[in-house]
Amino acid sequence: METELKKLKASLDIKSAAAKSVKRSFAQQIQGAVINANKTKYLLRLDNGQCVVKRGVVNADISILEKHCKGKIPDNLELTSTYFDGIINNFNEKSSGKGYRNPIRKMLENSSVYPVTFPDNTDMRESKTPILLPCSSKDEQAQINMALHASMAQSPALLGAQTPW
């Protein structure tokens, strides 16, 4: 009975130490300031008026700030939070992929056994043409129907055929 009690106490000590370390983490200490610095970017307002935190966006930006601050919480967090957007935008501009080339890609392209050619994605990244994504299943079905009708109009062999829809 006494050894079981010691095991439980040790388990409790480990869990409380882990909880304290999480509360002291950079992400937990800076999260509120990041969200308050740009609420429109980090909060999603629901139809019922409640706001939900966009965790993926917040965590990605906190990671960028942690690298910039080298893991140290700024002394005046309220004042520093006004610069968070600039820091994040600067980081994103630097790491947007300009100048970076995957070394494995080069090795595959230069392979003497089976050279691989990759499509040039620069045109797609710089394209100003918007990509239309359906907002609902009804919109998706409408886009599918439009594409099917356009396809049928271009194919003379299918014009006389009965459509299943």
17-62 pLDDT, tens digit per residue, is 776 665 678 888 888 888 888 888 888 888 888 888 888 898 999 9
Altogether, the residues listed in the chain come to a count of 165
Q: Which amino acid is at 76?
A: N
Backbone angles phi, psi at 128, to 5 degrees: -95, 0
Question: Model-level pTM?
Answer: 0.48
- Confidence (pLDDT) at 125: 47
User: In the predicted model, what is the mean pLDDT of residues 66-92?
Assistant: 84
Place of tokens 């271009």: 154
Among 100, 93, 91, which Cα is nearest to 121's?
100
Q: Which amino acid is at 18?
A: A
If you average pLDDT over every residue of the chain, what do you get?
77
Q: What is the pLDDT of residues 89-146, one digit of tens each?
A: 888 877 765 556 677 777 888 887 877 777 765 544 454 545 555 666 777 788 788 8
Give the bridge partners for 134, in sequence order. Answer: none
